[in-house]
Structure 1
Amino acid sequence: MTIKDIRDILGARFIYGEDHKDREVHAACGSDMMSDVLAFVKDSAVLLTGLCNPQVIRTAEMMDIICIVFVRGKMPDDNMIEMAREKGIALLSTGHRMFSACGMLYEKGLRGGSPYR
């Protein structure tokens, strides 16, 4: 699945990174707790979250997350957008709640990453 596919499935809009739309995404994680995100294997993933702070971008960089989808219409601030630009991480926003957004992606074939344990 590509980032463009994710955008289309979720009816999301690009905040940054439309030029990354053809990158392949292999796994997904939905969480507002970055410690939970750290419990999953790195694998060109998408993160769905309602958390809007710089730690989200830092965690994404550490975990090979290539796209962040902010749920519930959340929008990152300019500082976060600049951080994502520097790291090459695409940012999208959707009005869907996290549960619904994760379910929609799962229904279309995207699965979660493997836990470390």
Structure 2
Amino acid sequence: MRLTEIIDLTQAEVVAGDTAINHNLQKAFSSDLMSDVLTLDTEHILLITGLANVQLIRTAEMADIEVVLLARNKKATPEMIELAKEIGLVLLETPYSIYRSSGLLFKNGLPPVY
């Protein structure tokens, strides 16, 4: 699924990263447990989470995640935005819950990791 579709479906706002890059995400994973994220062995995934801290960005970097969607109207801190820009991570914010975001994306063709 293209990044532009994800942004439209979840009414997300881009707060960091280059949306001009043709991100074609193959799967999604929803979690607030970064230890679970670190166990993923999949490429081109979207991480949907309610966490909003710098550790999230570091975990995404270590797990080779290209795009993170902050759910539940969580807002990225300036430090998160700066770090996301440095590592080339696209960071999005949506007013939708994790459940609603995941459901919308699944319904429109983005499969889960598991």
Query: TM exceeds 0.5?
Result: yes
Deviation string, structure 1 residues 34-59 (Cα, Å, up to 9, x no partner):
01112222311111111011111111
Return closer, same or farther for 1:2/1:91 CA change in 2, 3 Å cut-off: same
Query: The residue matched to 1:7 in structure 2 has which SS?
Result: helix
Distance 2:63 2:111 in 1: 16
Return closer, same or farther for 1:35/1:96 CA change in 2, 3 Å cut-off: same
Distance 1:4 1:18 in 2: 11
Query: The residue matched to 1:25 in structure 2 has which SS?
Result: coil
Counterpart for residue 6 of structure 1: 6
Residue type at the aligned position of 2:58: R
Distance 1:87 1:9 in 2: 25
Identity of aligned residues (%): 37
Distance 1:20 1:41 in 2: 26
State the Cα distance separating 1:91 from its structure 2 match: 0.7
Instruction: List gaps (5 residues or longer) in structure 2.
Output: none
Instruction: List gaps (5 residues or longer) in structure 1.
Output: none
Counterpart for residue 98 of structure 2: 98
Q: How many residues align?
A: 114
Distance 2:68 2:79 in 1: 15
CA contact (8 A) 2:18 2:88 kept: no
Counterpart for residue 16 of structure 1: 16
TM-score of the superposition, structure 1-length normalised? 0.90
Counterpart for residue 40 of structure 1: 40
Deviation string, structure 1 residues 53-96 (Cα, Å, up to 9, x no partner):
11111111111210010001101101110110011000111111
CA contact (8 A) 1:11 1:94 kept: yes
Return closer, same or farther for 1:20/1:35 CA change in 2, 3 Å cut-off: farther
Query: The residue matched to 1:28 in structure 2 has which SS?
Result: strand
CA contact (8 A) 1:27 1:46 kept: yes
State the Cα distance separating 1:20 from its structure 2 match: 4.2
Matches within 5 A, 1:3-82: 3-20=3-20, 22-82=22-82
